[in-house]
Amino acid sequence: MQRPLSRELTPQQIARLRALLAARGLPLATNPKNPYIAFEVRTAGRSIFTLYTSGKLVSTVREGDAEGTVIGAELDALAPAPGPPAAAAAARRPAAGAGLRWLAGADETGTGELLGRAVVAGALLPLALEAQVTDVAGHVETKSSRAASGWELLGEQLAGLSSEGLVAVSLPVSNRLFDGWSKNGLLDLAYVRVVGDLLAVAGLRHEPLAGLELAIDDYGAGTLLRSAAEAWRSRGARVLVETKADVHHIAARTASIVARSARSREWEGLLSSVDDGPLGTGNAGNPGTLAWVRRRARSGRGWPRFVKASFKTVREATGGDEPVKRRIPPLTELLDEDSAVALLEGRLDVTTARLLAGNGRLLRQFEVDEHGTLLDPSADCAAVELLPLLVGGLVLDERLMARAALERLDALLDRETGLLADWRVLVGPAEGPDDPALLALARAHRLGTITLVRTGWQEPVERAARLSAALLLPGPSGRLRVALPG
């Protein structure tokens, strides 16, 4: 079977395609499980031609299918298929690209799904690894439907290239933040954080960025991301913010796969643990998902954490008002001035950073309980609420990983009420498979409650400092303390 080919069709080309298929007597089937499919055609020889409502046509011609081969040739005449993404990316590079050393990209998924989190992801690879990454990711249609296990398999294949120099990071955006803050503002902040993560893991946080090409999917980027792009350019990077970046740039396509793999892991975890399913596909237009929303509304149990409660579908089910979402403040209203500039440039140093409270108070730590409830009302500020998108994750103090603390760790990992839910948790390289705390974290990762990230630094404070993360430590009287290392 040939690899799937993708074409962008104009309305005139779509009309000609319909006429072409109708002349062959092929039915144009719709897919009730995917409202983004305009129609799908399958030949007797099992070739598949899928047109999406966006105008994208994906064709997969099976070897030995004469009818599929003929239709494929007619499509080539109607709308020639583009070359592979690696070739397309190379063609778009300037002549000065001889100094190119790294390819990086970022993309997101899940912002339009009612169930499950949005995820922003990034990928960075040495130019010499481009061909190997293209072998895994180059043929993947990231906007096409695929089983969750298929996305996870692709993610695992990409993870296998980490020893060759591929850096991949993913950042979940909790639905609590999604429901309360401007979507594009959250994405701006998440993209800035993800680029900082890529640079930190690749050892480029404090290095010149000459030789780096960074392609970011333009979701409607705002002032924050565009200011960050200028800051990265000032450090020497070539930064591209463009629509359909994943079509033309292999690093952005890789990031798209990483994001979808992370979201699929969460989705599979939900399907295995939710007690009032089925959940449908998670899309607001899916009949199964709509049926679940109606059942849940009638039950009076409230909306679980995996629901974007600000969606109109949910509000109509319970008669809620349209939410007024807050704008993301400028970084100088979240961090001290030096740290705000450093975060924008992708080089935040958490050992000196301070969070800015609404009363002008500068914070380096605050106390919470196992549910993340603030125990100091004066620390209630936007910087604390947005902390998962400001820092590279959480590092657990060794005392919270001890056997005596396992019951508390279970409370921290509760999907609905736990402090760690939706966070990235960074662990060191030496935690063994028999470590009960690591097993608990791994189970929570498998269920999609947290994102577990294995790092190369064993000592917690160094790990947090290297990766711009915060520390979670035991505090007095059974409290917990979130602190910046240093």
What digits encode the pLDDT tens for the residues 32-46? 767 778 999 999 888
Instruction: Determine the Cα–Cα distance for residues 200 and 456; give it in Å rounded to an integer.
Output: 12
Q: Are residues 129 and 201 in the same domain?
A: yes
For residue 81, the model assigns a pLDDT of: 62
Instruction: Provide the 10 A C-beta neighbour count for residue 162.
Output: 12
Residues in a beta bridge with 118: 173
For residue 198, the model assigns a pLDDT of: 98
Residue-wise pLDDT tens digits, 326-335: 999 999 999 9
Q: Give yes or no for residue 94 having a pLDDT over 60.
A: no
Confidence of residue 90 (pLDDT cuts 50, 70, 90): very low
Stated pTM of the model: 0.82
Residue 146 lies in a domain: yes
Q: Give yes or no for residue 122 having a pLDDT over 90.
A: yes
Domain boundary pick from 48, 78, 108: 78
The arithmetic mean of pLDDT across residues 273-279, rounded, is 93
The arithmetic mean of pLDDT across residues 369-395, rounded, is 96
**Least confident among 82-86, 175-179, 186-190, 292-296:** 82-86
Residue-wise pLDDT tens digits, 401-415: 999 999 999 999 999
Q: Are residues 74 and 177 in the same domain?
A: no
Q: Are residues 446 and 366 in the same domain?
A: yes
For residue 159, the model assigns a pLDDT of: 93
Instruction: Determine the Cα–Cα distance for residues 225 and 105; give it in Å rounded to an integer.
Output: 14
Residue 281 lies in a domain: no
For residue 6, the model assigns a pLDDT of: 79
CATH classification of the domain holding 47: 3.30.310.10
Residue 58 DSSP SS3: strand
Residue-wise pLDDT tens digits, 469-484: 999 999 998 899 999 9
Domain boundary pick from 243, 265, 287: 265
C-alpha distance from residue 390 to each of 104, 195, 384, 386 (Å): 20, 12, 9, 6
Q: Are residues 52 and 137 in the same domain?
A: no
Residues 171 and 190: beta-carbon distance below 8 Å: yes
Range of the domain at 74: 5-78
C-alpha distance from residue 380 to each of 233, 278, 334, 368 (Å): 35, 37, 12, 11
For residue 179, the model assigns a pLDDT of: 97
Average pLDDT score over the chain: 91
Q: Are residues 253 and 137 in the same domain?
A: yes
The arithmetic mean of pLDDT across residues 210-226, rounded, is 94
Q: Give yes or no for residue 272 having a pLDDT over 50.
A: yes
For residue 4, the model assigns a pLDDT of: 73
Confidence of residue 77 (pLDDT cuts 50, 70, 90): confident
More confident residue, 258 or 98: 258
For residue 96, the model assigns a pLDDT of: 42
CATH classification of the domain holding 199: 3.30.420.10
Residue 277 lies in a domain: no
The arithmetic mean of pLDDT across residues 49-74, rounded, is 86
Q: Are residues 153 and 32 in the same domain?
A: no
Instruction: Determine the Cα–Cα distance for residues 61 and 46; give it in Å rounded to an integer.
Output: 8
Number of domains in the chain: 3
Instruction: Determine the Cα–Cα distance for residues 106 and 229; give it in Å rounded to an integer.
Output: 12
Residue-wise pLDDT tens digits, 433-447: 689 999 999 999 999
Residue-wise pLDDT tens digits, 7-20: 888 888 898 899 88
Q: Are residues 70 and 127 in the same domain?
A: no
Minimal CA–CA distance to 313: which of 482, 129, 115, 465?
115
The arithmetic mean of pLDDT across residues 397-426, rounded, is 97
For residue 60, the model assigns a pLDDT of: 87
For residue 30, the model assigns a pLDDT of: 87
Q: Are residues 60 and 117 in the same domain?
A: no
Q: Are residues 130 and 89 in the same domain?
A: yes
For residue 10, the model assigns a pLDDT of: 86
Residue 72 lies in a domain: yes
Residue-wise pLDDT tens digits, 226-269: 999 999 999 999 999 998 899 889 999 999 999 999 999 999 99
Confidence of residue 2 (pLDDT cuts 50, 70, 90): low
Instruction: Provide the 10 A C-beta neighbour count for residue 27.
Output: 10
Q: Are residues 14 and 122 in the same domain?
A: no
Residue 189 lies in a domain: yes
Residue 463 lies in a domain: yes
For residue 453, the model assigns a pLDDT of: 96
For residue 142, the model assigns a pLDDT of: 80
Residue 308 lies in a domain: no
Residue-wise pLDDT tens digits, 146-203: 777 889 999 999 999 999 999 999 999 999 999 999 999 999 999 999 999 999 999 9
